[in-house]
A and B are shown apart, each in its own frame.
Chain A
């Protein structure tokens, strides 16, 4: 997708090139606006859209609405695709070698290098083309979907790609918006429509968009065609949630905001249809501007691989150097039969110019030894990883979450093996560890606490302290989702008898009015559903409903609440509140306010928000209540609950009116609207009166504590980075088993009295200095203590808790190293109150500073930074939004699936890739070394040992497939054992399977094997070998040696396997047989005297020396007994070393996985182990296959006795009232009866 970005770059340059035209338009427009004396758009680079006027817009040359996400087109595919391929160093290297092999210095003909290179390029290009083809098809479907456009007072259906800026379009219910539109009118009253933005940000709740009042009428085509407006708006940009512009309609300027914009990719809901004007089209739409690429990540193993390849290149050069020196010495001996003094066209062997001999020999030998660097390595690895991610990870039933219907998704296939080496996990809390399923749990009104529930965390805490709290059985009241509150004092109007019923009323009204929730469905308490931006909000409104303040309808200006028991018990009345302003929630404000007017004219501002934000804005006085409430807040926080403070302020109309003017001004400003709105909001959100606070329970995700325990046993350290309060974070950490009382806890918090005291003095410089000093001292103290504990023998585990404010100072370059070494010695770290930026910073600190492999997991937009900063980013899919998933490398539905992803898939991928990579090195090194040994016998002339075709097909044909099978199917222990023995994962963290020691051992065996293969094959050359007394020549020997080599390296692969499936055997035997098949045909090719062959010969003649040495060699060889004796002897001797090594290693220094294999060696692998969890969802066909899989492998011991038939046992058992466990064959019997097809196995029984 980097290509996309490039093309977008060119598009931008196109924009600037054509910038002249819009500028001209701008000038004419601005002159007219000046004449009108209206507000002018402040931004210089704005665009003007003439609605419903194609001619006028034509001048501006806007882009069409067709989109293209393809990298290539027919013309650019080859050059661009090849360019992409040759950006890889390995391919460039082989291209250089190929070019070299066309020169006379080359000892091999060009086919040797050109064929493998073209094959590799071909495979890569086919893959590219396939992917691009899919993108093209996708684009075509989108571009050709139709949309209704206003043409001559009628709606005409045209494809999306024909749509132009300024067109008036109609989008029907559930339809997608074809471009970024200005909402003009909707069939709903008040010009409201609902949109779903799941494609944009994954949020499934509906959002309201509201048309400008002036344009409400343009619904019918006849009316809409009269619409002639001018839209002045910002240039296309990628900010999804902002828009500034003005609509010039009937000489009036009306500000337009994001509320009137319908973005491409969203869909229309709950609205019959809408009419809109196209503003941005095609690639200029916000969603397309957002289609940025996740920066591609490379795995650590691959980076290690680069180093090994560089080393190999060094080995290659030194081999060439030795050969070149040898050659320069050799030519001096003047063998007359070589006629070295006649130089002809080449100076290569000129004894009088030995420096040239030396230099040219280096090039010769580089060409000869080039296969030391495995050409097909990268393409093979890519294929393996691609299959691993698309077939294994994406299809794993153990990682399928049936509640949300979400399977795991590998969004990149680069990082599979990285999953097997993760040492640090950075986890978000909300939505990741916890469910983000909010339930109204407790509240405090005017200092009085309500709610009798006990959270799991409190129970856990109580258990830790030895107190045994009996779990209260949930009361008879049917609990609604989002409402888990039980206190009779507030229910069914009982609050009227509480000490402060007025405050209660304010509390409930605040809950019912101050929000941005949308009701959906029938207006009855049972059937109505709430659409909310955050689950907290929904829980609060649901709570209000349960307290008797049922919010059931919203119009843009009104909120309708059905209030019960307000004036007197049992009375139900519908009350409407006029919503004057909504001051929306954002992360800097951390609060939300609504200004509303009661029916009786009372003006109230209701506000809810984070405790510290609200407390800052409370009116002075009533300190007692504030103190009590703060204590209660802390209590709630300790119980792991999420708190919000509610407050209100009565406004007098004059204050409000003057403020409202400023507000409207801010709202219609084109520049910095956000900031201005925030500033205006500050003016009215003050002098608040505290009503109370709410506490919402955040439920833990399923299986989180056990997963965390497994992961920490695997040697993975888990850090929780959360925006929550310290107490909440600690409690969640306890509940997740991240921290326990046996651990030494270091707490670095800014919530100390000393800091509070300094803060109260309100001197920013002093505060900063003081906190920095404190943090520094704390850090050093903790660090020393940690060191002494680590060096002590207690083996106590450590944990660190730090809050965002302290972290800010601790991340300072001076303190960073102390923080790092302290936190690395802790087994768990909790950072609370951290901003998204800090999350990313902490991740980067460990990644860069400690050079450890990190994984970030999160679910929300605030985790995007950390997900991208880590080596591996994992997004939780299916819950909050898609932003985290879009930025992630892997997406899973639940935190607990991380164990499968890491311990099973990651570990296996790591093992497999290590084996694949080491095998590639081994086989190519062995191959090249035989050539190297031979060079000593040829006067260092660089004579090749093998035929060109042998060499070119060695990598891509004779040894290619088995290693891919190994990379796909090898597994040391089964998935369930991987999770049962999480400690096995530690080997990956230590990178125990691919380090210099492994590579070194491998190289030793390579040298040994090449020496054996070469020398044993050579030893046969001196005497006659057949009874006919004939002597073998060079090419006979090389064919024999190559045969031995192919057998050896393929058998060696089998020795590396932990499991041998049918496919292993087929591929290994197939590769060896493939070699024989090839050589049988190849050594006959010469016989063929037909035209085709003549052409081939003359062609190969032109590109190099024609080679016919191997003619008939294999038949000659196979007529000798010697050949067979060699073919048995050489592989066995060559592999004896490995066998001895493996045997001794397993015996004396067994790896952990080997022990586990031995422990469970007699157990059949639990087939379909993961299926039991999802067993209920098996299709009949799968059920049958599963049952087959469970069948005992041996032949049934069926004796023929009538009641011995397996099915009867359970039959009788049920007759006697005993339910025998269902046997697999029962399932089979039923399944096969149902399908009427008799399976062979069944008939056997």
Chain B
């Protein structure tokens, strides 16, 4: 690719004017066109640069710096996480007894009474707002078939009602398009909870604005109404109020923000009163959702939040651990440095000085 055209008459070669042999060279002749490259720092590869050298001092200081920064952050995060009160109650097995097939039969039957009562004890004062979550285990909301089985266009635009080709296998029922279509909507979680305190006063659950605002405003249309939903022979989960537009069906919106892992929580609602320590909360729940056929777990979670969110020790522990590790490394390196210092830039370390004569 760099070959010059050999027939080019114009690219006369450099010393073309010079004569070979005994003729005197043209060193004194005026240079017609000097081919001397222009000086620039880039082409001569002399750009100004800093040359960091990872000396032991640098290594130790870097570790110390990480220690100094990370440990306080870790402590603060842990403290924040400790302030969070979290009550978790697994109720799937508690509400239905029996073998797996019995459980499945129970949950699939239209007639059985699925109401179940649980009581939770509050060990520590919970300040409002108390968030109510349901947690599912072994539920693959992130399975590829599941994730893509939805139609964002249909959810958003009235005109795209029949835009259901991506929703297979839940795209239409009885020849009509389902709104909202797809496996995600179809398998909508439909257990319900109501809470009362020990003195039998109802705890109101606020289910407004439990979804991301961006989802409500943009992803779900205000003029799109559920249609033909759960009308097929096999019912996957919850039903929807057909008189409400999709952007007000917040349970659906929350459910449809698919989770990353097979174990996930979703927000159910908020309790906007403080609950004192020692109180017992009675939960009346409709245990309708079938997790028994695939051995999934269902849990009810009540949690307060801190500035860092819910109860999450991970980040605090991680920061503390890294900080601690760095401190350990810094100490180790310091000891090694003191015990067996390496003289910086000692030519004796050069390989050809270490074993002379060898290659």
Contact = CB atoms under 8 A, between A and B. Distances in A.
Instruction: Say which size band chain B's interface belongs to.
Output: 35 or more
A1023 B31 contact: no
Interface string A1155-1179: 1111111000101101100100110
A1118 to B, nearest CB: 13
Contacts of A530: 19, 21-23
Nearest to A1054: B52
B131 A1024 contact: yes
Given A937-B262, A1029-B129, A1161 B53 contact: yes
A405 B15 contact: yes
B166 A1105 contact: yes
Contacts of B44: 395-397, 1168, 1170-1171
Interface stretch (A92-100, A722-730, A1060-1068, A1071-1079): A1060-1068
A1202 to B, nearest CB: 33
Contacts, number: 428
B14 A877 contact: yes
A407 B36 contact: yes
| Most chain B Cβ neighbours within 10 Å, of A403, A405, A1097, A1120 | A405
Contacts of A69: 5, 7
Interface string B266-306: 11001000000000000000000010011000000001011
Interface in B176-232: 183, 186-187, 210-212, 214-215, 218-219
Contact of A265 (B9, B257, B270, B344): B9
Interface in A516-568: 517, 520, 529-532, 534-535, 537-539, 541-542
Given A531-B23, A1142-B54, A1024 B315 contact: no
B267 to A, nearest CB: 6
A938 interface: yes
A869 interface: no
Interface residues of A, number: 179
A1140 B31 contact: no
Contact of A1121 (B219, B308, B319): B308
Contact of B5 (A139, A204, A538, A882): A139
Interface in B12-35: 12-25, 27, 31, 34-35
A1155 B347 contact: yes
Nearest to A409: B2
Contacts of B70: 1132
Contacts of B13: 198-199, 202, 204, 882
Interface string B29-56: 0010011111111111111111111111
A899 interface: no
B144 A938 contact: yes
B315 A1122 contact: yes
Interface in A941-963: 941-944
B142 A336 contact: no
A780 interface: no
A744 interface: no
A706 interface: no
Contacts of A241: none
B264 A205 contact: no
B258 interface: yes
A795 B358 CA distance: 8
Determine the main DSSP class of B at the interface with A: loop
B12 A531 contact: no
Interface stretch (A12-20, A111-119, A1145-1153): A1145-1153
B116 interface: no
B22 A1139 contact: no
A529 B22 contact: yes
A39 interface: no
Given A1129-B318, A1178-B39, A1155 B350 contact: yes
B35 A939 contact: no
A141 interface: yes
A405 B66 contact: no
B320 to A, nearest CB: 11
A1126 interface: yes
B22 A541 contact: yes
Given A345-B168, A405-B35, A1031-B264, A205 B319 contact: no
Interface stretch (A286-294, A923-931, A1216-1224): A286-294
A287 B6 contact: yes
Interface in B68-116: 70, 73, 77
A1108 to B, nearest CB: 5
A340 interface: yes
B40 to A, nearest CB: 8
A1121 B49 CA distance: 36
A265 B318 contact: no
A1021 B261 contact: yes
Contacts of A394: 37
B12 A198 contact: yes
A293 B3 contact: yes
A476 B13 CA distance: 38
B329 A1140 contact: yes
A403 B318 contact: no
Contacts of B120: none
B219 A1111 contact: yes
B169 A344 contact: yes
A803 to B, nearest CB: 29
B145 A1 contact: no
Contact of B142 (A531, A937, A1060, A1186): A937
Contact of A1125 (B183, B214, B315, B336): B315
A579 to B, nearest CB: 20
A339 interface: yes
Interface string A863-880: 000000000000001101
What 10 A-B pairs have minimum CB-CB distances, sorted nearest first? Answer: A538-B21, A1158-B345, A1023-B310, A538-B22, A1112-B214, A176-B9, A529-B23, A941-B144, A1029-B131, A1059-B49
27 contacts: A131-B1, A198-B12, A198-B13, A287-B6, A345-B168, A395-B38, A400-B35, A406-B14, A530-B19, A530-B22, A531-B20, A535-B20, A943-B147, A983-B351, A1021-B261, A1022-B264, A1024-B303, A1034-B260, A1038-B260, A1112-B214, A1112-B218, A1125-B315, A1152-B351, A1155-B349, A1158-B345, A1170-B44, A1186-B39
Interface of B: 1-3, 5-25, 27, 31, 34-56, 58-59, 62, 66, 70, 73, 77, 129, 131, 133, 139-148, 152-153, 163, 166, 168-170, 183, 186-187, 210-212, 214-215, 218-219, 236-237, 257-267, 270, 290, 293-294, 303, 305-312, 314-315, 318-319, 322, 325-326, 329, 333, 336, 342, 344-347, 349-352, 357, 359
Given A1031-B265, A1121-B307, 17 more contacts: A1-B3, A336-B294, A337-B236, A338-B143, A404-B14, A405-B35, A406-B35, A413-B1, A520-B19, A1024-B131, A1025-B310, A1031-B259, A1031-B264, A1032-B260, A1059-B49, A1086-B218, A1155-B345
